[in-house]
Amino acid sequence: MKTLIELHGELVSGATTVEALVSQAKKTITEKDGEIHALLGLYSDALINAQIAHAKDMFARGTATALTGIPVVLKDNIVVRGEKATAASKILEEYVATYDATVVKKLKDAGAILLGRANMDEFAMGGSTENSAFGVTKNPHDATRVAGGSSGGSAASVAYGAVLIALGSDTGGSIRQPASFCGIVGLKPTYGTVSRYGLMAMGSSLDQIGPFANSVEDAEIVFNAIKGADDLDSTSVKNIPEQNHTLKKKIGVPWSFVRREGVDAEVLKNFEASIEKLKGAGYEIVDVSLEHLEKSLSVYYVVVFAEISSNLARYDGIRYGMSIKDESMIKGYLKTRTEGFGPEVRRRILLGTYVLSSGYYDAYYNKANLVREMLRQEFEKVFEEVDVVAMPTSPIPAFKIGEKAHDPLAMYLADIFTVPVNIVGVPAISIPSGKTAENLPLSLQLIAPHFGESTLFAIGKDFEKLY
Ligand code: GLN
């Protein structure tokens, strides 16, 4: 697999062309997507051709970037002006976006070729892409298994080689876990570093857009292209602090949290081997205690439900999207939402409304936010001592399609290692670390302090060399 830098060199020298890259991507999609179903559709020819012309112009003028002419796939909850964006929901099946997300504008400016819309769990709720209203995405390593979720289509499209780069969104693990299941790199940036403008909101205090790539270096290039302050997102960080680049070469592992019931034996063995390799590469490993990690699933599934119930109130069948008319407006509203949303989305709206209802607000939502703050402080303290905290990305490798589809609790438990990161708002990266006996990809997750992406890239590149 070529890197972005290599491909850029070929584009500059004329060894390949933008048109050739786009045709190659389309050919791979035609050959493989029938089986994998990573994509919900391609963008219009008008958009693709305009982007090709723009990219060629940038090469001609000498203003091309490493992303110029590179085909990219977007999770279908990121809006592109004049194109469909469905969030894999029936309620938005025919929705056409009226503006560009900030990340879209940045990618277009960089000369990337936005090629198609990736499948996902409906409104990003899930961990397997089985909650898509438009069919499941299969894992390119084993088509009887899930690609992970909720950005399963983005991950699978990079894993089977349709594109080198895809964007996803991560609210509780939705970039890192599918990256892990599909054997590629996935980055969840610091909350507030990548604009959420034009990302359909799920849990607004947790959501972040980030890249999927074949290598840490490629993910870094995309992150640098999409990050930055944005007046259109009120939580966007205005002045991203400068990084202190001197590494302590110290990695913290919360061993008692990692060695827990429910973690697959091969996952644990692989994680221990990864840590040994890092030791061999000169990193000091210290056992760290983060007491409130144990509470993070409970905190996440209170906060996220609450925010979902508020955010999804806008899909009322009046302003946009599916609209079922009935004798009264309220009946039409109820019918639109019952028929437009799938079961997982309805479950979460109901539970979120419950935790926000008067009398329970303090008991659940406020308490969850208190624990959230305690966990943040614990992480801050640990980061005084170590560069990063390491954990597996997922307690299990890719599971069989249908295996957990009817057990929401089992599905939620699988998010144990990814949700703490979103609760605290720090950045984390998932990097391939080998395979199981059945040839299923496994990954190491590295977590850095706020704005510590460059630390993740530096240690991540060291780690990649060990495989
Ligand atoms: N699996 C988690 C959930 O279902 C995470 C989803 C996400 O990050 N979008 O909420």
Cis peptide before 132 (omega within 30 of 0): no
> Which residue CA neighbors atom 3 of ligand 1 most closely?
126
The pLDDT value recorded for residue 388 is 98
pLDDT digits (tens, 9 = 90+) for 216-263: 999 999 999 999 999 999 999 998 887 766 899 999 999 999 999 999
Query: Amino acid letter at 464?
Result: E
Q: Provide mean pLDDT across the span 167-183.
A: 98
pLDDT digits (tens, 9 = 90+) for 141-158: 999 999 999 999 999 999
| Structural domain span for residue 58 | 1-467
Q: Say how many Å lie between the CA of residue 164 and the centre of ligand 1.
A: 24
Looking from the CA of residue 171, the nearest atom of ligand 1 is: 8
Q: Provide mean pLDDT across the span 277-306.
A: 97
Closest CA to 21 of 165, 225, 204, 147: 165
The pLDDT value recorded for residue 454 is 96
Q: What is the mean pLDDT of the chain?
A: 97
Does the pTM of the predicted model rise above 0.85? yes
CA–CA separation, 196 vs 17, rounded Å? 32
Choosing from 174, 195, 215, 274, the catalytic residue is: 174
Q: Report the range of poorest mean pLDDT among 14-28, 29-43, 328-342.
A: 328-342
Looking from the CA of residue 169, the nearest atom of ligand 1 is: 9
Task: Determine whether the shortest distance from the Cβ of 352 to ligand 1 is under 6 A.
Answer: no
CA–CA separation, 120 vs 136, rounded Å? 8
- DSSP-derived secondary structure for 194-223: B--TTBPPSSTTT-EEEEEESSHHHHHHHH
CA–CA separation, 349 vs 313, rounded Å? 9
Q: Report the range of poorest mean pLDDT among 46-55, 57-66, 280-289, 312-321.
A: 312-321
Task: Determine whether the shortest distance from the Cβ of 304 to ligand 1 is under 6 A.
Answer: yes
- SS3 of residue 369 by DSSP: helix
The count of other CB atoms within 10 Å of the CB of residue 316 is 17
Choosing from 89, 150, 151, 169, the catalytic residue is: 150
CATH (domain of 452): 3.90.1300.10
Q: How many domains does the chain have?
A: 1
Q: How does strand 250-253 pair with strand 284-287?
A: parallel
Choosing from 75, 105, 227, 404, the catalytic residue is: 75
Q: Is pLDDT above 80 for 366?
A: yes
Q: Provide mean pLDDT across the span 65-77.
A: 98
Residue that is written with structure tokens 């592109």 in the block: 80
The pLDDT value recorded for residue 285 is 98
Is 174 an active-site residue? Answer: yes
Is 169 an active-site residue? Answer: no
> Which residue CA neighbors atom 4 of ligand 1 most closely?
126
Is 309 an active-site residue? Answer: no
Looking from the CA of residue 127, the nearest atom of ligand 1 is: 1
Query: Which residues neighbour 73 within 8 Å (Cβ) at sequence distance 6 or greater?
Result: 38, 39, 115, 116, 117, 118, 153, 154, 157, 158, 162, 163, 165, 166, 167
pLDDT digits (tens, 9 = 90+) for 393-411: 999 999 999 999 999 999 9
Ligand 1 probe mutation, 119, 121, 188, 407, most atoms within 8 A of CB: 121
